[in-house]
Structure 1
Amino acid sequence: MAERTTHPYSIDVRRCWRVPDRFVCSILEKGTPRRHSPQSYATFDEARQAAQERLRQLVFEWQLMGREPR
């Protein structure tokens, strides 16, 4: 079995459609939404950092389990 080197996740940060001066983030798995932020953030960087933190957890689980966590 070949070792996997690239995880299937990506981050999407965009303006909140309900409150345009706030930002929301999502984690995509192979281009399909997997997790959405439960809250909005005041800045793009805050939303990106929150998504990166969750992404680190998902990648760790992905590496540990050898498959995508459900």
Structure 2
Amino acid sequence: MKVTISKQCMGDRNCNDLCPEVFKYDEDKLVSTIQIDPIPEHLKALVRQAAAECGADAITIEE
């Protein structure tokens, strides 16, 4: 699984709160970034949940 965050990110930090092992908040740019790639198996469900709950639809998942 590969995850990307588009420029549509609103910086609401929901993904960071849900899965801090994968998503990191960039204080300078005020958006979330991806910390690890590819996503480990044990975190995939949380990443899918973060993508589903993203209000800006900024998280894209490639299986």
Normalising by structure 1, we get a TM-score of: 0.30
Structure showing greater Rg: 1
Q: Which has the higher contact order (CA 8 A, sep 6+)?
A: 2
Normalising by structure 2, we get a TM-score of: 0.32
